[in-house]
Structure 1
Amino acid sequence: MSKRKSKEGSFTSGECISQVQRTLRERFCHQCPDGKLFGLELQYEHLLELLKRTTMRGESNSVLIIGPRGSGKTTLVNHVLKELMEIKQVGENTLQVHLNGLLQSNDRIALKEITRQLHLENVIGDKVFGSFAENLAFLLEALKKGDRANSCPVLFILDEFDLFVHHKNQTLLYNLFDISQSAQTPVAVIGLTYRLDILELL
């Protein structure tokens, strides 16, 4: 693999391509010097405030971000998460679970990925659960630190949200939204999709 020299050292061609892609994305998205996205200031502030209420006040929330492919949905979420995690109180106590409908094609795979990202493989061990809901509830219960206000907030980011809608009985979504409406572990469910008719599919 060829290498190119620079003032900072040597770079592989793969690293150079990654740097070029990063620079182009920044320019195409018109990123401002302060890190916020041009033209999405209102959405940025709204999402940041919503997630602050979950991570700092223990208030569960859910939100759908709808827009055409390439319009900056994922970039918006990443910018908000970056700023959120820089708050000491939040960064030390908040967990994130990133799922993608293209990768987690059914609820069993999704649950396995949730377990992996929450580092709870050892907690589950050889336990047998009667249903998906029991399994998910057990995972979230394991994160509790006593009362709701002191439990670890969990942010669920569901990319390609419309594909999760096609899972059998929408079990994952049903349970996540059910938890967000109940007085359990504080969670925020963030769905990203290009489908304008997503609410009709739920």
Structure 2
Amino acid sequence: MTNFKSAKIAPIHIRIRVPQHYYRQPVISRLISRYNLTVNIKAASLAAGEKHCGWFDLELQGKPEQVVNSLSYLQGLGVDLMQVAIAGSIQPNQDSYSFPISDSNLATGEPTAITSEWGTQIYPQISNNQTNRLRLQLCISKNHYHKPVISELVSSYGVTVNITGALLKPDVQDDGWFDIELWGRSEQLFSSWSYLQNFL
């Protein structure tokens, strides 16, 4: 007989709407660290400084009680659960909410080339014995949509990830962009940076 509490279930797909007052909080990062879930962001629309809610399509993988507790956590925060279903089974209909996408979701300004010079440009600005923040704009190519990049940063490297802007269309035809802050100690940030080099 299968133990219900220890068996993983099929991935759960949820569509959430995050109120603007939680934009500076690492809500998705906490789903991963507190509830031991693997979270893959399938679509995202979050504009920094906007008065509108942020939207995310998430795929959650974990044990049933972890998934249930994580959904209770989101509801306790006041995050709207717009849809919940077994992954791949959400179908658009007259009752479903369309996913809002705007190209103005990310911080604007001159694009800068990302550096691979960790040792000379970034590392000297980080204190060794305290928590630091590293702000990045991360491109997730359409070839990497299936990889839970944020989940990997939190669960394997121990950093907290706060998403401050996002544009990831649900149709997987374009690259996705995230404005993120990584919070952690110097060795955690260095390891996370090395991992992210795989996506450049």
TM-score between both structures, scaled by the size of structure 1: 0.25
Between Structure 1 and Structure 2, the one with more helix by share is 1
- Greater strand proportion: 2
Rg comparison, structure with higher value: 1
Q: TM-score by structure 2 length?
A: 0.25
